[in-house]
Structures are given as C-alpha cells and as structure tokens.
Amino acid sequence: MMKIGFDAKRAFLNSTGLGTYSRSLLNALANHQPALALHAYTPSAAHTRLFNPQPPIVVHRPVSFLSSLFPSAWRASYLVNDLRRDQIEVYHGLSHELPAGIEKTSIKTVVSIHDVIFRHHPEWYPRFDRTIYNLKWKHALKVAHAVICISHQTRQDVLHFYGNQIPCLPQKITVIPPIVEPRFTPRPLSGPPAGKPYLLAVGRLEARKNLGVMLEALALLEPGKRPELVIAGKSTDYQKELERLTAEKQLEGSVRFTGEVSAGALSDLLAGSLALVYPSRMEGFGYPIVEAQQAGVPVICSDIPLFREVAGAGALFANPLDPDAWKLALQNILQMNENQYQTYQEAGFRNTSRFSPKQGAIDCFRVYESLLGKEPATTV
C-alpha cells in the first residue's frame, strides 16, 4: 500500500471551502482507493463536529512536548520528523502550504492551490497576511513535486504570479476540480416553485461577495414584480453596508438577512428558492453553485471566467459590476415557463457529474502514482 500523508488541519476546523475540500477528498480516497494507507495530520483534536474520520484514515496529532506546546510550529516544520517516523511516501498539503524542510527528505510532495485572490486584490487583506500568504505559496510551489490547481483559472493565475520565479512550474501543475459531495435532496424536474418567488444568496458576508449589485438590481424592478432576496450567511461588518443600501433603496420588505443557518435550514431555503444568486467578484471555486445545481436549483452568477468554468451551461450569467445586467437576468428567470426552467435544471444536473467523489479520487490517485512510479491500481 502507498502511505499518503495529508495536512488535515482544515478538515477538522474549517467549515467553508478549504475544509470542505479536505474532508471530501479524504473521504473519497478512503471509499474509492483501497490501495492507499491514509494518514491525516492535525494540530487540533482528532475528532470534531466537522470531521470524525473512521478507518482506513489514521489521525496523527503532535506527540512531543515541544510539538504539543507549539502546534503551529509543528505543522509548519516539526511535522517532517513525524512523517519520516511514519514512513510516509507522499505528503499532500491540502491548502497552499508544505512544511519547511520536507524538501530535504525523500518524501514526495503535492500541494493543492485553490486561489491567489490576495495577489489580485491586496486591498482585501491586511499587509501582514498578504506577506505570509505569499511566502507560503511561493515555498510550496517551489518545493512541491506536483501541484494540483482546482480550476484552469487558478492554474492561469498561479503561472501569472509565480511562473517567472519558478521556471519548471507549468510542468508540475495538474488541474483537478474539487469534489462536491451532494448535501441536499434533488428537487424533481419541474417549473418554478409555487408560492411567492424568492432568490437565495449564501456564504459569509464580505465585500467580494458583491451583494450590493443584487440590491441595486432589485431596486430597478417594479415593486410588484420584485422577488424577495434571502441572504443566508455569517454576519460581518459588510452586512451593515448592505442594510444601509437596503434602506436607501427602500427595499426593506424585499430583503431578509437570516444570519448563519443550519444545514437543515439551508436545505429548506434552497428547496423553495427560485434560484441561487452568486454575484461574487472573485472566488477560489464557488461550491454553492455546484451544490445548487445538484439540488435542481438554477443559478445566476457573475460572468467571470472561473464561474463559466464551474457552472457550465447550467447557469445564467451577469456582469458583476452592472446592476442592469442583473436586472435582466432576474427578469429572465422570473419569466421562464416550465420547459425553460427545466432546461436549466437538467443542464445543472449534467454539469455536476464532473465533481463526483469517485472521479476526484481517481484523479488525485494518479498524481500520487506518477510521483512514485507505481503501476495503476484498481479503484472501487
């Protein structure tokens, strides 16, 4: 068996994109690749409400006194000693980084890169954070034997910002989309849901989510033809800006903030929604797009290259900086008949097959095999 180690911190602690990516990949490899011995390394508790791994996944935490006292240093460097002890053959950094010193060992390394948003929009990040991120990304890209980018857009961005500094980088990169495990019961093919229509926006409320353009678009619609916008996500200072704009545009009866909701509540909201709206200016991937498509809910999202790549034909697109474009997209979905609505449902269902656990496990396993020169193994 190949012994594969993983940086599993995000799997146990992060409820959003990086954590979802880590949990989904570990679970998929456990279920579909019996030739792998999976070792998950985390400085946190070995079981949390987010992740409770079972065999064949073996969880490792800091053992020595120093490593336990300084868990961040363990993850960043001391971990290498544990990987040697456990005879790990391939180590996969699931979220942009690899421990310092691993390049001096015989362990093969893989790093997953999700985005480089901090380089595109430095104004969204404190200077100290940007500096640390850049050092981590650059080190991982330089020393990794293989790089997994989660989209072609991410690959393009990585090469733009780091290609000149790391000449061999293009040959290292493989594009493997994230696994998106179905979380919601699919809605049957049908016309728009009965009752007063509402649109759903999900995710942490932050400036790059660009929900202001949705409010501007709603204000352009006639009040009697205006759907409700339900915004479900963790409250931040950005919510105050949205509330101010809601009052300014006299949309108090058309916008509802739910705060962060449970998985069950989110499932109910999605099931009854006319569409998911996702006007973000930039993302690493866009899990809500695929999850909505899996649930049989059409999507309206920003017309940016990444979302064209992720959503395929199963979405309507609008310029993230143009309220009139969003108004038109809203009018289009409000006026759809049953057949037109079903067309987007069907296109969404077809699109989601690209993100299946089995395919993701196969694609990642091939990367590990290539590094070790192993013969292809049987998948289940």
Cα-trace Rg, the chain: 22
Residue located via tokens 């309507």: 316
38-49 core/surface letters (b: 16 or more CB in 10 A; e: else): bbbbbbbeeeee
Q: Does the structure show a pLDDT above 70 at 375?
A: no
The two structure tokens encoding residue 165: 């500094």
pLDDT at 379 over 90: no
| Three-state secondary structure readout of the chain | CEEEEEECHHHHHCCCHHHHHHHHHHHHHHHHCCCEEEEEECCCCCCCCCCCCCCCEEEECCCCHHHHHCHHHHHHHHHHHHHHHCCCCEEEECCCCCCCCHHHCCCEEEEEECCCHHHHCHHHCCHHHHHHHHHHHHHHHHHCCEEEECCHHHHHHHHHHHCCCCCCHHHHEEECCCCCCCCCCCCCCCCCCCCCCEEEEECCCCHHHCCHHHHHHHHHCCHHHCCEEEEECCCCHHHHHHHHHHHHCCCCCCEEECCCCCHHHHHHHHHHCCEEEECCCCCCCCHHHHHHHHCCCCEEEECCHHHHHHHCCCEEEECCCCHHHHHHHHHHHHCCCHHHHHHHHHHHHHHHHHHCHHHHHHHHHHHHHHHHCCCCCCCC
Average pLDDT over residues 186-212: 90
d(CA 177, CA 272): 28
Strand partners, 59: 40
Among 87-101, 311-325, 362-376, the minimum mean pLDDT is found in 362-376
Q: How far apart are CA 310 and CA 294, in angstroms?
A: 13
Most distant CA atoms of the chain, gap in Å = 68
Average pLDDT over residues 192-212: 91
d(CA 53, CA 346): 34
Residue 194: partners with Cβ closer than 8 Å, 6 or more residues away: none
Percent of the chain scored above 70 by pLDDT? 98
- The pLDDT confidence band at residue 374, using thresholds 50, 70 and 90, is low
Q: Are 98 and 139 in contact (CB under 8 A)?
A: yes
pTM for the whole structure:
0.91
pLDDT grade, residue 376 (50/70/90)?
very low
Q: What is the mean pLDDT of residues 212-229?
A: 94
So what's the pLDDT on residue 377? 45
Q: In this prediction, what percent of the chain has a pLDDT beyond 90?
A: 80
Q: What are the structure tokens assigned to 210, written together?
A: 């660009």
Q: What is the pLDDT of residue 378?
A: 44
Q: Going by DSSP bridges, is the β-strand pair 2-7/255-257 parallel, antiparallel, or unpaired?
A: unpaired
Mean pLDDT of 282-291: 94
Helix axes 323-334, 212-220, angle to 10 degrees: 60
Strand 198-202 vs strand 108-113: parallel, antiparallel, or unpaired? unpaired
Q: Give the model's pLDDT for residue 57.
A: 95
Residue pLDDT, tens place only, 222-239:
988 899 999 999 888 899
Confidence class of residue 193 from pLDDT cuts 50, 70 and 90? confident
| Domains of the chain, earliest start first | 2-179+356-372 (3.40.50.2000), 198-354 (3.40.50.2000)
Q: Is the peptide bond before 126 cis (omega within 30 degrees of 0)?
A: no
pLDDT in tens, 152-180: 999 999 999 999 999 899 999 999 999 99
Q: Is residue 371 over pLDDT 60? A: yes
- Looking at every residue in the chain, the average pLDDT score rounds to 93
Residue 1 in this model has a pLDDT that exceeds 90: no
Read off the pLDDT of residues 122-139 as tens digits, 9 standing for 90 and up. 998 999 999 999 999 999
pLDDT at 16 over 70: yes
Give the model confidence (pLDDT) of 29-78 as tens digits: 999 999 999 999 999 876 778 898 989 999 999 988 888 889 899 999 99
Buried b (16+ CB within 10 A) or exposed e, 103-130: eeeebbbbbbbbbbbbbeeeeeeeeeee
